[in-house]
Amino acid sequence: MPTNILLADDHCILRQGLRRILESYPGFIIVAEAGSGRQAVELAREHQPDVAIVDIAMGELNGIDATAQIVRHSPRTAVIILSMYGDERYIVRALNAGAKGYLLKDSVEQDLVQAIQSVCVDRPFFSPAITQVLAERQASASVPGHVEDRYDLLTSRERQIYQLLAEGRSNKDIASLLVLSLHTVETHRTRIMEKMNVHSAAELVLSAVRRGIVR
């Protein structure tokens, strides 16, 4: 039975490289490619792929928040995060969003096929370096219920607007893109800044850069 795959990365060359690797294996079919997190969510909803391979750093909607929406709208799709970031904060956020796998980009050629085969039978898969990070986290588990990052306080919509603001979009642009009223966007912006404890556009951008949400 074929495995239908969605590729989501904002670098066309990387998507082409992933496509070449995967199409060399019988039974793997690339059903769609997305260049942004928002497009990945839309295509996952449309194609309902078996697996979505999603980069973290994408425009309009980062890969972790895109993962949460993909899992919600396409529950049969197993998401594998593909990233340059091996920090615990990214891994934990990805798993909390519903990702079944997490691969570092430097291990793609060795691990990608095995990762897809594993998540298709509902077994998680991580690059060896990620497994080590998770083991260390388990050994020093934090207190349950502790909010580790103010970002965790944001709703799904607030996270989307937070990223768009950090990308330099105006309130008017965001309202048009998300089909919201200008007043609604302004209200979200105020709540976001309160929750994130930032007091200017510059501070908001800096906070997003530190979290790897924008580059």
Q: How far is CA 214 from CA 49, 78, 154, 168, in A?
A: 27, 24, 17, 10
Query: Which pLDDT belongs to residue 143?
Result: 43
The answer to the question of residue 215 being in a domain is no
Residue 199 lies in a domain: yes
Residue where one domain finishes, among candidates 139, 173, 196: 139
Q: Give the Cα separation of 154 and 68 in Å (integer).
A: 13
CA distance 100 to 77: 10
pLDDT score at 32:
96
Domain around 40: 3-139
Look at residue 145 in the predicted model and tell me its pLDDT: 47
118, 171: one domain: no
Give me the CATH number covering residue 132: 3.40.50.2300
In-domain check, residue 166:
yes
Q: Tell me, yes or no, if the pTM score tops 0.75.
A: no
Could you say which residues of the chain have pLDDT below 50? 142-147
pLDDT for 202 equals 72
Q: Where is the domain boundary, 80, 104, 139?
A: 139
At residue 103, the 3 state secondary structure works out as strand
Contacts of 167 (CB under 8 A, 6+ apart): 59, 60, 214
Are the C-beta atoms of residues 93 and 46 closer than 8 Å to each other? no
pLDDT given at position 146: 45
DSSP string, 47-97: H--SEEEEESS-SSS-HHHHHHHHHHH-TTPEEEEEES---HHHHHHHHHH
